[in-house]
Amino acid sequence: MKSFSDSYKAAGVDVTAGYKAVELMKEHTRRTMIPGVLSGLGGFGGLFGLDVSGMKEPVLVSGTDGVGTKIRLAQLMGRHDTIGIDCVAMCVNDIVCAGAKPLFFLDYIACGKNVPEKIASIVSGVAEGCVRSGCALIGGETAEHPGVMPDDDYDLAGFTVGVVDKEKILDQSSVQAGDAIIALPSSGIHSNGFSLIRRVFDLEGKGDFYSPELGANLFETLLTPTNLYVKPVLRLMDKVPVHSVCHITGGGFYENIPRALPQGLSAKIEKKNVRVLPIFDLIAKEGNVPEHDMFNTYNMGVGMCCILPSDKADEAIRVLKGADQEAYVLGEVVESGEGVILW
């Protein structure tokens, strides 16, 4: 007998919609299949065979995150096919900071009402993020929450697992005074600080509109997906002795860069070196946001930093550009206990 429940449907949960959503997802998840995947969607767990050949002491590295209130912008625009890229990026960009290669990803979608086409659109973005970072989407969960969330509302979170040989794990211990700090530019806001953005621009109830300062539509600019840095950074680690890596997320420069530095050392950065994107200038102007708060909330145009010997900086930039990732020297590591010196 086919699975259905009219009683559960009357209570707000349509299990048949869930089955349809899974079927629609499969065309997207197939794009992410890599060696090691042992199961498809629909089981009780995602299976992955770990190949540790060539590793002396493999270590699993995990990360989990969501996309914050950026998801509200996707809902306001009625565009759901990019927010999944953000979700993947927020997780895999974190674990690559330890030197880990992402292996697989799982997502969790909570929604007021399961509209299969919308759920499949969200998952298409998740799949795209997995393809760009070289990992597999091996499972997930979609949960209807009638009475808890409005019908049109949803939230998205994700989880990833990667692997790195223990002797290649990156931490702050090898960072030295005189090291160069290499900036990998961001695509825009990425996925942090949207509660402030929604206040500054009063987005509720508005449609997208052209911004002369940006030379583009505001909503479209804000919704630009987070860059995925996994492949270029892993390539860099193969070619150049990278000492430390940091992902610039919530907390901006002041919270994230110190996490890649040992005690007693600081990042010295000239403001003129930071290639600030126009969207950040517009936020500061429209919201009257102080410069310190901007650098303490947003990436300001720098999505990731790699710290390495100064005599390897030019080579690092060439390697990254060869991997289709722009890069430039942002600053240097100095002996000081201040964390970030921005001048």
> Would you state the pLDDT for residue 39?
74
> Would you state the pLDDT for residue 337?
79
Is the predicted pLDDT of residue 9 greater than 70, yes or no? no
pLDDT bracket for residue 15 (50, 70, 90): low
> Would you state the pLDDT for residue 206?
81
Is the predicted pLDDT of residue 5 greater than 70, yes or no? no
Beta strands per DSSP E along 52-167: 58-66, 101-111, 136-144, 154-165
Is the predicted pLDDT of residue 228 greater than 60, yes or no? yes
Whether 304 and 93 have beta carbons less than 8 Å apart is answered as yes
Is the predicted pLDDT of residue 7 greater than 60, yes or no? no
- CATH topology of 12-42+57-168 equal to that of 172-342? no
**May I ask the CATH architecture of the domain 172-342?**
Alpha-Beta Complex (3.90)
Is the predicted pLDDT of residue 327 greater than 70, yes or no? yes
What does the chain come to in residues? 343
> Would you state the pLDDT for residue 22?
78
- The span from the CA of 261 to the CA of 340, in Å, is 10
Is the predicted pLDDT of residue 174 greater than 80, yes or no? yes
Give how far Cα 331 sits from Cα of 7, 176, 235, 298, 313, Å: 62, 13, 22, 18, 11
Most confident of 9-23, 200-214, 251-265: 251-265
Q: At what angle do helices 194-201 and 70-77 cross, to 10 degrees?
A: 50
Q: Which residue bears the tokens 């708060």?
A: 293
Q: Give mean pLDDT, residues 25-30.
A: 84
Say which DSSP state 49 is in. -
- The span from the CA of 132 to the CA of 122, in Å, is 16
pLDDT bracket for residue 28 (50, 70, 90): confident
> Would you state the pLDDT for residue 18?
73
Q: Give mean pLDDT, residues 260-284.
A: 96
Percent of the chain exceeding pLDDT 70 equals 94
Amino acid at 269: I
37 token code pair: 């995947």
**What do you get for the CA distance between the two ends of the chain, in Å?**
70
Is the predicted pLDDT of residue 30 greater than 60, yes or no? yes
Mind giving me the DSSP string for 183-223?
EEE-SSSTTS-HHHHHHHHT-TT----EETTTTEEHHHHHT
Q: What is the mean pLDDT of the chain?
A: 93
> Would you state the pLDDT for residue 14?
67
- Order of strands, sheet of 302-308, starting from the edge strand that comes earlier in the sequence: 244-247, 302-308, 180-185, 328-335, 265-269, 340-342
pLDDT bracket for residue 232 (50, 70, 90): very high
> Would you state the pLDDT for residue 45?
83
Q: Where are the domains of the chain?
A: 12-42+57-168, 172-342
Is the predicted pLDDT of residue 17 greater than 90, yes or no? no
Beta strands per DSSP E along the chain: 58-66, 101-111, 136-144, 154-165, 180-185, 210-211, 216-217, 244-247, 265-269, 302-308, 328-335, 340-342
Q: Which CATH class is domain 12-42+57-168?
A: alpha beta
